[in-house]
């Protein structure tokens, strides 16, 4: 197996350039391109689920396609969605802190 080259990342980088041109006013998110998944572009919003939601809507990902998970011993909410954009696989991830319950407060039933 040969070593990955920069040209192998072209689908993900092209998708990123297209997203920037098409949605210049959307919130900035972290961007990840990897030789492990060379045809995938990952966008992640940290502590800003509104940014995740803006990108989800712009990419026309249905709410039902979003997977909700909890990690870090129940302290972090993770929203995960996938799409295809300009020939690249796109992963959209949102992370948010789950507030700790306040002692002494009861939940109404």
Q: What is the pTM of this model?
A: 0.86
Q: What is the mean pLDDT of the chain?
A: 90
pLDDT classification of 30: cutoffs 50, 70, 90: very high
Q: Which helix (H) or strand (E) holds 77?
A: strand 76-85
pLDDT tens across 82-105, in order?
A: 999 999 999 999 999 988 766 655
DSSP string, 23-85: -TTSPP-EEEE-SSSTTEEEEEEES-HHHHHHHHHHTT--GGGPEEEEETTTTEEEEEEEEEE
Residue 106: per-residue pLDDT: 59
Long-range contacts, stretch 1-8, CB < 8 angstroms, 24+ apart: 4/35, 4/38, 8/35, 8/38
């Amino acid at each position: 197996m040969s070593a990955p080259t920069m040209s192998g990342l072209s689908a993900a980088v092209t998708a990123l350039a297209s997203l920037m041109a098409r949605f210049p006013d959307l919130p900035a998110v972290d961007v990840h391109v990897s030789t492990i998944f060379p045809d995938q572009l990952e966008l992640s919003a940290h502590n800003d689920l509104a940014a995740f939601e803006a990108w989800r809507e712009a990419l026309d990902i249905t709410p039902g396609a979003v997977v909700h998970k909890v990690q870090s011993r129940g302290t972090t909410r993770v929203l995960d969605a996938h799409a295809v954009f300009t020939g690249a696989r796109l992963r959209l991830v949102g992370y948010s802190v789950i507030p700790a319950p306040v002692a002494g407060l009861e939940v109404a039933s």
